A and B are shown apart, each in its own frame.
Chain A
């Protein structure tokens, strides 16, 4: 239904008349849409979005994380059992993380991961019938940003999935603008967890608060908010 793009749809709506790709004559259904026989059903309430040439998905507000293959998440190690770690990623089921899936790890040389550690990892396996599986290396065996997040300082905030998508979208410049003013480091997981670390605890709190409260703001509003926060920080 080309005319309902940009409009609100609710679960159970049946959509049709999608625009297919000219090359493959296929339609790509993103999150929130499900094929049921020959029909396409809406499974989430939200706004129907479309991206050229043939991609449709539902933009909805959500806090429950549903694992999707290839996404980067922040997990909390809950159990060390045998050759895997069990990691909470906020989904219905805990994910497994092999101790061999770290950079430079061998059977002899285990990575130093403790219960309660945060890990930034990629979902290797994610489907509704199986336990999700994480890895902390890329295809070349390098860490490339994945791995245990050092526990010396830093703070993790739990936000909605929308905020994470907003922060990571190419047309949102909150991190860039914050980074111009405060040196800090962050890891943003698609499961709604954002870890922030700056030089002092005060800076860390300011950055975390700025990110957490930016969900419903425009870029201009975010800039003014950050300016105010920084003024407070420097004691004006």
Chain B
């Protein structure tokens, strides 16, 4: 049964219909591109050598004094002498303040990881509240001693 393993094909008549043409064209184009790519790949030479390891230095070099000493931007204007410059200075200040407040917030608030951990812990406690009394024990934290299932005991024959 060779037909079973092959992918089912649509009839020739159906493939010739207009809405199937587009699919067919794109398939043809793909095949052509694949072929071209294969030809190009075969023409390329590849040297069979192990990949070069990148030398990793423990030093990184900084050319400028600006990050070292935390230097400010070099344009200043005072008492409204050049309003355009003062506007820029103000925007720098706002950005700096924002950064500072963000850093402070990060320090004070709970991180995502911690939140997730706390939430995980709290889920159990709240669940207990909503569960029925009968289920409480099963959702509790302490491991339950599994009760022996009661079996039907055969009455003794005397």
A71 engages B76 (CB within 8 Å): no
Is residue A100 contacting chain B, with contact meaning CB distance below 8 A? no
Min CB distance A168 to B, Å, is 4
Task: Give A22-65 interface residues, CB cut-off 8 Å to B.
Answer: 25-31, 34-35, 40, 49, 51, 55, 57
Give Cα A29 to B57, complex, Å: 12
Question: A185, B78: Cβ atoms under 8 Å?
Answer: yes
Closest CB-CB distance, B108 to chain A, in whole Å?
22
A85 CB–B CB distance under 8 Å: no
Q: Is the interface of B mostly helix, strand, loop or mixed?
A: loop
Nearest CB of chain B from residue A32's CB, rounded to whole Å: 10
Q: List chain B residues, Cβ under 8 A from A198.
A: 81
Compute how far the CA of A188 lies from the CA of B77 in the bound complex, rounded to whole angstroms. Answer: 11
The minimal Cβ–Cβ distance linking B79 to chain A, given in whole angstroms, is 4
Q: Is the CB of A169 within 8 A of B60?
A: no
Binds A, one of B40-48, B63-71, B113-121, B139-147: B63-71
A184 and B81 alpha carbons, distance in the complex (Å): 6
Q: Return chain B residues, CB-CB under 8 Å to A189.
A: 74
Q: Total interface residues on B, using CB and 8 Å? A: 29
A40–B67 Cα gap in the complex (Å)? 20
Q: Which one of A75-83, A173-181, A215-223 contacts B?
A: A173-181
- Contact code string A166-202 (vs B, CB < 8 Å = 1, else 0): 0011100001001110111111111000000111000
| Contact B65–A57 (Cβ < 8 Å) | yes
Q: Does A72 contact B (CB under 8 A)?
A: yes
The one of A51, A120, A161, A178 that contacts B74, using a Cβ cutoff of 8 Å? A120
The contact of B73 among A26, A34, A145, A180, by CB within 8 Å, is: A145
Give the complex CA separation of A30 and B62 in angstroms. Answer: 5
CB of B75 within 8 A of CB of A29, answer no
Interface residues of B (CB under 8 A from A): 57-82, 84-85, 88
Residues in chain A within 8 A of chain B (CB atoms): 20, 25-31, 34-35, 40, 49, 51, 55, 57, 66, 68-72, 120, 126, 144-145, 161, 165, 168-170, 175, 178-180, 182-190, 197-199
Given contact pairs A31-B65, A179-B76, a sample of 20 additional A-B residue pairs in the complex whose CB atoms are under 8 Å apart = A20-B58, A26-B58, A27-B58, A27-B60, A28-B59, A30-B68, A68-B64, A70-B64, A120-B74, A126-B63, A165-B69, A165-B71, A168-B69, A168-B72, A168-B74, A175-B78, A184-B77, A185-B78, A185-B81, A198-B81
